[in-house]
Structure 1
């Protein structure tokens, strides 16, 4: 019999941990001379991490839609038989929510960008690497600090910045939908929300996601984000047969979209949505393992922001100390990569603590992963 006080980790936290660690190693093995030096040790693994591991971004997109829906939209079946719940974003609060969301992303980002500027300057001085960001002008700085770099065709100063810009666009779009629903008759809010999310998701899967020039705008990624929203609604359906039917309908739509145009990223998104819709807490044999996973989930955003500047730093020092001869020392290069990873974890934890304790604004629960108790409370209504 399972002990009543067994340690556990909820699936959103586990997904966040796995995705953040994979994206960190993707970037560590995609940029810089350390990647070249370490490749002979495990060429297939390094090649997979450097290329295919980028698909894990779909996990972030689906999880982003799921967690945004928890806060912005009513669960489809949370009050079966009762009056529909109201969206949590009255129209008059939309601009306030937009500002708060931007600051939640930007406040931790700004010090990370300053570090990226410093380490990129060091990298340009220590080594000649085509992937090292060039020194930006004032327009480029403002674009990066306001998450508009892709819209203004300015080079990004750090890896993954495009994702933060897209996450902001997607969140604001869903918040706008919630605000518009507040003006609809109460009985129509859920059907209208479902219709709007399904229409946007279908438009992305069949049209917008097939245009490679559209990847600087939210509609390109709206299919994966919509799957996250639908996973939240499916999780709240009752009875179980209704959940199963809704799951089969969404799965059929995904399969039809894959038949229309195969995309491995859509497979990852669909599987992630399935786990979020049906997964329960993962019970672990040891409390220490659960604590470690919860801690990694909590610092995942800080880790995401700092790993690339710290990778630039270690790569620069490596090349300055060893030069081309370092390319012939793969074991030492692996040690340097592991050091970069450890520094990134420590830096992510430090940035997380600074944001939680010292940032001068109400951050709320969604800047960083919620504590296990708060997350359990937040997801309780979803069954």
Structure 2
């Protein structure tokens, strides 16, 4: 299910993440803090939690794809992973080039920790294979780590389900094989929920983020069962117990998103015309916005440092300018790079 409703969720989340980065990285937000401290603090603390929504949606769409009957009979697991890689890598490489150019331009006008140095060959190669976080290399742009994580989560899930499909007896029914696959995904999700997501030392690995991605996968599978409400209630109990032991806002948002996606599956209201709005268009371009907004914001920040280094309200204007310009640049990026 790829619907305007999902695009609305992605549109809202994309805007929140963009505003989080504007609040987090500065330097405009450092100056604007003098006049809108509450707004900047809000996006600084809560904006990044919208990443959980993207992870759940990614898992939800992956669950629909990988739990199709005989999915590995139509395409090998390596074809599925390669197709995922191709969909991600071209706009990703274009974003890396844009990030390098914008970082160089920004470095001519300001000195700031958010500006990346010119990459070494090993760093570029690690980005090419979506492994920079695992190999300990600095990400060349704020949004690139998420793309790498999305690819790793998909690849690990696809390989796990393929191995299950391969090693189980061939005379087993599709339903029985699928049940084993769901159990494996559930175990990995629970391990992430109760162990890995509690330890920030794992936040460079897929194990830390699998709780949100796995919730999306399970929501997709639960949505197609006759016992949807019971299974959703059971999954919610595990989630609430984990939050009782150690409350995490990002996990709560992931759980709510998974429940909403599960309940929206084939529901009448999800096809309402109300979802056909500008947010849906932003949602469809969310990948492009995610990739271009940080490099564009860097250049705007470097200009504002030169022109308005101490004026708080003009730096608020600068932050708005950076956000709007990022959206404008994302339009041709989406049309001529991502869609192609």
What TM-score do you get using the length of structure 2 for normalisation?
0.91
Alignment check: 8 A CA contact 1:206 1:260 kept: no
Per the TM alignment, residue 23 of structure 1 is displaced from its structure 2 partner at its CA by 0.3
1:264 counterpart = 2:249:
yes
Q: 1:224 to 1:164 in 2, by over 3 A?
A: same
Count of aligned residue pairs for this structure pair: 329
Aligned pairs for 1:276-291 (under 5 A) are 276-279=261-264, 280-281=269-270, 283=272, 290-291=276-277
User: Which structure shows the higher helix fraction?
Assistant: 2
Equivalent residue number for residue 62 of structure 1: 56
Counterpart pick for 1:205 among 169, 172, 193: 193
1:252 and 2:240 correspond? no
For the pair 1:17 / 2:11, whether they are aligned, the reply is yes
Q: Give yes or no for contact 1:91–1:182 (8 Å, CA) kept in 2.
A: no
- Which residue pairs with 1:31 in the alignment? 25
The more displaced of 289-298 and 226-235 is: 289-298
Matches within 5 A, 1:197-346: 197-238=185-226, 242-279=227-264, 280-281=269-270, 283=272, 290-320=276-306, 322=307, 326-346=308-328
Q: Provide closer, same or farther for how the CA distance between residues 355 and 115 of structure 1 changes in structure 2, counting only shifts above 3 A.
A: closer
- The answer as to whether partners of 2:4 and 2:276 remain within 8 angstroms in 1 is no
The Cα of 1:339 is off from its aligned counterpart by 1.8
Deviation at 1:32, TM superposition (A): 2.6
Please give the secondary structure, in 2, of the residue aligned with 1:328: coil
Distance 2:29 2:225 in 1: 47
Pick from 145, 157, 166: which aligns with 1:174? 157
Instruction: Quote the Cα distance in structure 1 between the aligned partners of 2:327 and 2:271.
Output: 23
1:352 aligns with 2:334: yes
Q: 1:256 Cα shift? A: 1.2
Q: CA deviation at 1:252?
A: 0.3
2 CA distance for matches of 1:347 and 1:12? 23
Q: CA deviation at 1:92?
A: 6.6
How many Å apart are 1:131 and its aligned residue? 2.2
> How high is the TM-score relative to the length of structure 1?
0.81
Residue 40 of structure 1: how far off its partner (Å): 2.4
| Counterpart check, 1:95 vs 2:78 | yes
| Partner SS state of residue 313, structure 2 | helix
Offset at residue 144 of structure 1 (A):
2.4
Indicate conservation of the 8 Å contact 1:36/1:327, yes or no: no
Contact 2:5 2:280 in 1 (8 A): no
Conserved? CA contact 2:20–2:47, under 8 Å:
yes
Structure 2: runs of 5 or more not aligned: none
Deviation, 1:335, is: 2.1
8 A Cα contact 2:99 2:140, kept in partner: yes
Q: Conserved in 1, the CA contact under 8 Å of 2:18 and 2:290?
A: yes
